[in-house]
Chain A
Amino acid sequence: EVQVVESGGDLVQPGGSLRLSCVASGFTFNSYAMNWVRQAPGKGLEWVSAISGSGSSTNYADSVKGRFTISRDNSKNTVFLQMNSLRGEDTAVYYCAKDRALIAVTGSLFDPWGQGTLVTVSS
């Protein structure tokens, strides 16, 4: 079964940092790009970042560029999201999702998704 499981969400103060992890199983991890998508409480979905299967190519939403860094460890089937300079508007459930191809390209989709991990930024 193809599966992704996130962890690392927590309560953090504004300006603080947090690292999220996503462990994948059931597929050849280094053959697929991975994405992070977030959902603020009661709001819609926002794509955050993508990383290619090799880790050599990354993409970010403007709202997180320069503050968040996506990376992956293919030996551990894990993708990470390092979040720095956190703001209140970063409060959300963060989902990890597998893409359909080696890199995030035209035709990208998100399947499957993990259960999500909650990040709360508040003093």
Chain B
Amino acid sequence: DIQLTQSPSSLSASVGDRVTITCRTSQRISNFLNWYQQKPGKAPKLLISAASNLQSGVPSRFSGSGSGTDFTLSINSLQPEDFATYYCQQGHTIPFTFGQGTKLQIK
């Protein structure tokens, strides 16, 4: 199975900050990497597909990059509604796997 390692596991930041979350995969997966946002008690929401494709309706302050084994999710100018847990997911090979999550907390 392809292992996904996110860093950091948790992150404290302030409104207006820029943050970056990293996802590293145990095998090369081209750009088949997706990012999700999950708020407490809610279902995950797809933010970015294929490493860098921003989903419709997702604010442009979110961006993704990377290919191969190293990927990043960046959030510019954090807003209060961005404090949540973020997961990466590889769609390259079954079984599809997720990173362990990064909890973004308000400082």
Contacts and interface: CB of A to CB of B under 8 A. Distances in A.
A48 to B, nearest CB: 9
A109 B91 contact: yes
B84 interface: no
Contacts of B97: 47
Contacts of A62: 95
Number of chain B interface residues as a range: 20 to 34
A44 B44 contact: no
Contact of A95 (B34, B43, B96): B43
B98 interface: yes
Would you call the interface of chain B mostly helix, strand, loop, or mixed?
A: loop
A101 B44 CA distance: 19
A109 B46 contact: yes
Given A44-B87, A114-B43, A109 B34 contact: yes
Contact of A115 (B36, B43, B92): B43
Interface string B48-85: 01100001000000000000000000000000000000
Given A45-B89, A47-B97, A59-B95, A107 B44 contact: no
Interface in A41-71: 44-47, 50, 59, 61-62
Contact of B49 (A59, A104, A109, A115): A109
Contacts, number: 62
Contacts of B95: 47, 59, 61-62
Contacts of B36: 45, 110
A109 B101 CA distance: 17
B32 A107 contact: yes
B32 A106 contact: yes
B87 A45 contact: yes
B30 to A, nearest CB: 8
Interface of B: 32, 34, 36, 42-46, 49-50, 55, 87, 89, 91-101
27 contacts: A44-B99, A44-B100, A44-B101, A45-B89, A45-B101, A46-B98, A47-B95, A59-B94, A59-B95, A61-B95, A100-B49, A106-B32, A106-B92, A106-B93, A107-B91, A107-B92, A109-B49, A109-B91, A110-B36, A110-B44, A111-B46, A111-B49, A112-B43, A112-B46, A113-B43, A113-B45, A115-B42
